[in-house]
Chain A
């Protein structure tokens, strides 16, 4: 076992205990979120607070529905997430493909520019971005959320790396010999082979869009157009917040992520840290 040929000591109980307690501490807030989501407000605010699941989830959901157009907000979140994922995959595949297979003038410089955009802090353009959206008449329009960020540098980089390593150049050459034009090659030869990296980038993009808060905070003005996180926040008020309903909403916001994460944590982690570990 690899564990043992490293250390002369096997894994000690203290190590296990430390790591285990740490992991539980990380997960505990999620546990209580789900517990509180199923408890009425009076229970959450009783002494001692509930530590196990109750039966008030639907009741909480109904309270939430009186505060916000819940299904609409969820629908917008889903719609924006899917649109942003689809566009990002297409645009990043195009960009990554160009950098991976073509030789052209200013290639190095352009790639440098793409990479450098990762360093620009997002708040710098926040205010004028709002003005542009306003000018374009995109306030309260979902496209204001999915279009501007649809060609992220990180995605182009990820695609380029994948195409360089996984798509044989001979395949592209062969298609060219057969008289395929460049766009046909991209569509019929390259795109179908991008499945794995589409999975990774797609998940990252969808999660990012699903969690996005600042974007909708700036461009969405009416509650009917709010994405879910924004709607959820609007429920919180200085006095008399419906905590059970809020926890139910938070649980709904987190649940899809949890499911995605359970099934694809390795791929997600690899993708999210890809830019960093290139070395």
Chain B
């Protein structure tokens, strides 16, 4: 009798913590979606409002703006990661031996670094008056042809709606490139060598080998890591939050849906509305994940 319960006892910390801090909050947030509630007033102030929060969310122009921002950022930061990581992984995997780990380490380092530190650093680099990026542009501006292309005034990168998004996307790209690179290198190492040798025997060129052997063999990993990028990109919070000082920047150009949800709850104290937003975002992520997998074909067992 006692013995039979041993495995469950070993598992109890997980299920206890998951029950209290995992499942319960999600159920709670589902309930909150149908309530109007400012928690400062206590539980008694909770008021059932039916679908009002959901309708309000769907009519809120800031919600749509934040969703558009989020999709823009997810695509602009996510797609380049894979377009760069795949060829880069191929070069590293096929051409390098001794320096491979050091090089992968350099690309991977941003991934394990504090977002706050990263965001502070990029804020300095992109600051208007004396930031390194503007200083560099000013130097380049003095060259003959480039002077036509580069504006004379310093660019207020983080204070202009048109440039704040690309800067955020760049930071996210820089941060997660190495993670994808490692995934792709690992996947490439599991491609059977015989395939390459046979192709070489037949006289295939390097480019052809990459295109006809590596890429098709890499597909399951591409589906998987693209899915991770979709899920991660749509939840984007920390990078834009810190880079725009928590407010989303001029004209909310850098405000993602997760940020807007946070502000609705903790700045505007509307927890019901914020819950409705979180479920809307969840729905978006589920749909996009499904579409990604649908578009790219059946996925091999992973995760």
Contacts and interface: CB of A to CB of B under 8 A. Distances in A.
Contacts of B110: 26, 29
A139 to B, nearest CB: 12
B20 interface: yes
A129 B6 contact: no
A279 B302 contact: yes
A19 B107 CA distance: 10
Contacts of B301: 279
B95 A11 contact: yes
A195 interface: no
Contacts of A177: none
A127 B32 contact: yes
B271 interface: yes
Contacts of B231: 121
Given A129-B21, A269-B108, A236 B245 contact: yes
Contacts of A158: none
Interface stretch (B49-57, B58-66, B129-137): B129-137
Given A104-B7, A128-B28, A3 B130 contact: no
Nearest to B121: A33
Interface in B3-41: 3-4, 6-8, 10-11, 13-14, 17-18, 20-22, 24-26, 28-29, 32, 39
Contact of B21 (A125, A211, A232, A233): A125
A275 B271 contact: no
B126 to A, nearest CB: 11
Contacts of A23: 103, 106-107
Contact of B7 (A8, A98, A125): A98
A253 B119 CA distance: 12
B116 interface: yes
A25 to B, nearest CB: 8
A49 B276 CA distance: 47
Contacts of B275: 127-128
A245 to B, nearest CB: 10
B21 A148 contact: yes
Interface string B97-116: 10001011111111111111
Contacts of B245: 236, 238
A165 interface: no
A61 interface: no
B300 interface: yes
B155 interface: no
Interface in A258-277: 258, 261, 265-266, 268-269, 272-273, 275-277
Interface in B178-202: 178-179, 182-183, 186-187, 190, 196, 200
A107 B4 CA distance: 12
B88 interface: yes
A236 B271 CA distance: 27
A167 to B, nearest CB: 14
Contacts of B258: 123
Given A49-B130, A236-B120, A247-B121, A117 B22 contact: yes
Given A114-B14, A115-B303, A121 B114 contact: no
A127 B274 contact: yes
Interface string B209-246: 00000000000100011001001000101100010010
30 contacts: A3-B94, A15-B95, A19-B88, A23-B103, A23-B106, A26-B106, A29-B125, A32-B132, A36-B124, A44-B130, A47-B135, A95-B10, A118-B303, A119-B303, A124-B26, A125-B22, A126-B265, A127-B32, A127-B274, A127-B278, A129-B21, A130-B265, A148-B21, A151-B13, A236-B245, A250-B114, A254-B114, A257-B114, A258-B109, A272-B179
4 A-B pairs with the lowest CB-CB distances in the bound complex, closest first: A125-B25, A148-B21, A128-B25, A98-B10
Given A26-B178, A123-B237, 11 more contacts: A33-B121, A49-B130, A104-B8, A122-B235, A124-B29, A126-B25, A126-B262, A250-B116, A254-B114, A272-B182, A273-B186
